[in-house]
Structure 1
Amino acid sequence: MSEETHAHHSHASGSSGNLLPYSILIAALILGGSMVWSANTLSAGLANLDVVANNTGGTTVPPAVVPDTTDPAPVAISVQDLEGGSAMLGDPNAPVTIVEFSDFQCPFCQRFVSDAYPQIKTNYVDTGKVKIVFKHFPLSFHPFAQKASEAAECARTLSGDEKFWMMHDKMFANQSAIDVPDLKRYAKEIGLNETQFNACLDNGDTAAKVQADYTTGTSLGVSGTPSFVIGSGDNGTPLVGALPYASFKSAIDAALANAN
């Protein structure tokens, strides 16, 4: 992802032939200055670029320092500490939990929802082996992500987890249209009380919950979306990116084996 800077040049014609050399000289100076400006701007843009897509298929914010290139030791994360107070899909007593940190405007999150998620739901959630816990991680460069997260939480606050997941599915299915008027329309379509939902969204009633999720994510080292923690009890393993279903299957099966 990058920004392109385009230099714009003006062309002028003189009425006198002997002005031509001066026009050429001036044009050369302008062009040269524009090229220097463009190069400097591009360099600064690359140096300050705060968004990259990693090769596992995730939108990330790179660290402020050059990362260590050695492979880190696996980090165990307490999954049970992350389960409370968030929307859940599946049997609450399922032996394995997937904690998902996601952004409704993130294209890689949408890829996960359309690709791996349906198979995870069919093979593991619907069979009672896995439950999914959703945590919000709206990235600052996605202008609609914060309100989209608030909308999902308004749906949950007003009508429980079922409406949360209905709103979740609506927003990912219509990711290019998740501005506030769109969110209010989706709320009506899934049967929420319009007056109550609109007041919740307009007043920012669930903004604190979204911020709390984001803070939790950053405390765990989450820097991009989608990010996951898969496991049970105190043994959670991080997984990052819109990975293929096979990668999730491997992690889930390992967690199930450890849970038994």
Structure 2
Amino acid sequence: MINTKKIWYLLAAMAVILITTVALMSNKKEVEKTPKNPYQAIDGAKTNSYEPVGESLELTTDDNVIGNKKAELIVFVYEDYSSPYSAVLAETLSRINSELDNKLTIAIRPFVTAGNNISREGALTLMCAQDEGKFSEMRNVILAAAKEGSLQEGGFNVYANQLGIDETAFNNCLTNEEKSLKLEAIMAEADKNLVIGAPTIFIANEMIIGARPYSDFVDSNGDAVEGLKAVVDRQLSAVGTKK
């Protein structure tokens, strides 16, 4: 007669082997499904700078330009108008451009965070203010409110009133289908370049994610990171070399 205890040991061993095999196969499938990091680090840029993955960005008639419209170095900025980080970056870029005597073309583009109504309403508000020739004024007001955390859904008409924009025309603009379609097109362009959040900056051949501080710093991993001023200076130097 076969020893019952041996049979149980054998069955237990087979069960362990089966479970281990299934686990390994499952893990292999998960690894295969995990996408590779799409961002390629920039050589010589220390850390946290990446090569753009999409087509080269070009100025369009929809871009709002701050600074010198004929500058040789163009900085594309995707801003989320509900984000205090976008407000901080805007201040940093303004400081840099002022110190450089207006040597930058800064092209502003809206970015809408999925599911964030304030983010979307802020972007549409800027587009409507642009129609009234008050983009810069509205941008300053909204970013200041974003920085202090006072933005409220449905409350952007207050800023329109402050700037003398007709309330009825403004409200009609916010719900205008053409404006929504234009915003969707801008977001589609952002998606092509793997912009997944704001702020995100493109400086020549370089993509920078987040509100990069003005000065060099050491991040939480102990890595030295180039400040935004150093990045801009390096890119300006590269432009001068190509002349």
TM-score interval for Structure 1 and Structure 2 normalised by the shorter chain: 0.5 to 0.7
Question: Quick one: which amino acid aligns to residue 172 of structure 1?
Answer: L
Mapped to 2, the partners of 1:205 and 1:193 lie a distance apart of 19
What is residue 117 of structure 1 aligned with on the other side? 93
CA spacing shift, 1:71–1:256, aligned 2, 3 Å? closer
What is residue 218 of structure 1 aligned with on the other side? 191
Matched, 1:193 2:192: no
What is residue 97 of structure 1 aligned with on the other side? 74
Alignment of 1:74-223 (within 5 A): 75=51, 78-79=56-57, 81-114=58-91, 116-124=92-100, 127-159=101-133, 163-175=134-146, 176-179=149-152, 181-223=154-196
Report SS of the residue matched to 2:51. Answer: coil
CA spacing shift, 1:91–1:179, aligned 2, 3 Å? same
Mapped to 1, the partners of 2:84 and 2:98 lie a distance apart of 23
What's the offset of the Cα at 1:242? Answer: 0.8
Alignment of 1:60-79 (within 5 A): 65-68=34-37, 72=41, 75=51, 78-79=56-57
Deviations 1:63-99 (A, max 9, x none): x8354499546535634x2444211111210111110
CA spacing shift, 1:179–1:69, aligned 2, 3 Å? closer
CA spacing shift, 1:66–1:205, aligned 2, 3 Å? closer
What's the offset of the Cα at 1:230? Answer: 0.9
Q: Is contact 1:89–1:131 with CA below 8 Å preserved after alignment? A: yes
Matched, 1:253 2:233: yes
Mapped to 2, the partners of 1:146 and 1:68 lie a distance apart of 28
104-113 vs 217-226, which deviates more?
104-113
Mapped to 2, the partners of 1:111 and 1:165 lie a distance apart of 16
Q: Which of 208, 212, 217 is the equivalent residue of 1:243?
A: 212
What's the offset of the Cα at 1:136? Answer: 1.3
Report SS of the residue matched to 2:132. Answer: helix
Q: TM-score, length-normalised on structure 2?
A: 0.68
Q: TM-score, length-normalised on structure 1?
A: 0.64
Mapped to 1, the partners of 2:230 and 2:96 lie a distance apart of 11
Q: Is contact 2:84–2:143 with CA below 8 Å preserved after alignment? A: no
> Quick one: percent identity of the two aligned structures?
21
Deviations 1:96-151 (A, max 9, x none): 1110011111232233234x234124223xx2300211111111142211111001
Question: Quick one: which amino acid aligns to residue 123 of structure 1?
Answer: E
Unaligned stretches of 5+ in structure 1? 1-63
CA spacing shift, 1:206–1:68, aligned 2, 3 Å? closer
Mapped to 1, the partners of 2:73 and 2:40 lie a distance apart of 26
